[in-house]
Amino acid sequence: MLKIGLTGGIGSGKSTVASMLEEYKYTIIDADTVSREVLNKYSEILEKVRIQFGDNFFDWRGEFRRREFGNHVFRFPKERKKYESIIMPFIIKEINEKFEQLEKKGEHIVILDAPTLIENNLHEEMDMVILVWVDQSTQIQRIKSRDKLSQNEIINRINAQMSLDRKKDYANFIIDNGKNLIKTKEQIDDLVELLRLYEK
């Protein structure tokens, strides 16, 4: 089974590309969904969060204040790293289990959609890495109209990630999503052609 990592940067178009690939019936594992699933599945994650971050992120019933916590770790990169070191082993375990199950089911190709694929070294376990790249001014424009963030907030978020240009060094296939969706779809068609060679 071919394991493909799909990655990019904030607002570069990963979800757009993933839904185009879904139309071709590829099976996709969404790392963001997995990161929410593991919170429900492994209670030890929140136990560790409580020990390391304190009771403030839990309400009086003991419910996790997910949004407040998300804002907190987003604002302080060191805190985010601390949280990632707690949750990442669970996410990786879950992703590997999903790959194994899909391989047993007889899938030929499975795509892992993970924004921080490279930052978390998951690319090393993939047979192929696809990067959804976009030029920075288009990226800023798109985030601005989608998320209603200020220019500064957007630039901070872009700078908090590895740059899309650096990610190019890790990619086997680069989709330039800086133009219209028809142009992106054409590149997806080229990719699908390439993957069909593998399936034969």
Q: Which residues bind ligand ATP (CB under 6 A)?
A: 8, 10-16, 115, 142, 146, 177, 180-181, 184
Comparing CB distances to ligand ATP, the nearer of 15 and 172 is 15
C-beta of 126: minimal distance to ligand ATP in Å? 18
Distance of alpha carbon 114 from alpha carbon 73, whole angstroms = 19
Comparing CB distances to ligand ATP, the nearer of 29 and 46 is 29
Closest by CA to 131, choosing from 184, 166, 173, is 173
Comparing CB distances to ligand ATP, the nearer of 53 and 141 is 141
Closest by CA to 72, choosing from 91, 58, 88, is 58
C-beta of 48: minimal distance to ligand ATP in Å? 26
The response to whether 12 counts as a known ligand-binding position is: yes
- The distance between the two most distant Cα atoms of the chain, rounded to a whole number of Å, is 57
C-beta of 150: minimal distance to ligand ATP in Å? 16
The response to whether 13 counts as a known ligand-binding position is: yes
C-beta of 22: minimal distance to ligand ATP in Å? 13
Q: Is the dihedral of CA 181, 183, 185, 187 positive or negative?
A: negative
**Residues 6 or more apart from 185 whose CB is under 8 A from it?**
20
The response to whether 150 counts as a known ligand-binding position is: no
The response to whether 11 counts as a known ligand-binding position is: yes
CB 152 within 8 A of CB 108: no
Length of the chain: 200
Comparing CB distances to ligand ATP, the nearer of 123 and 142 is 142
Residue ranges for the known binding site are 11-16
Residue ranges for the known binding site for ATP are 11-16
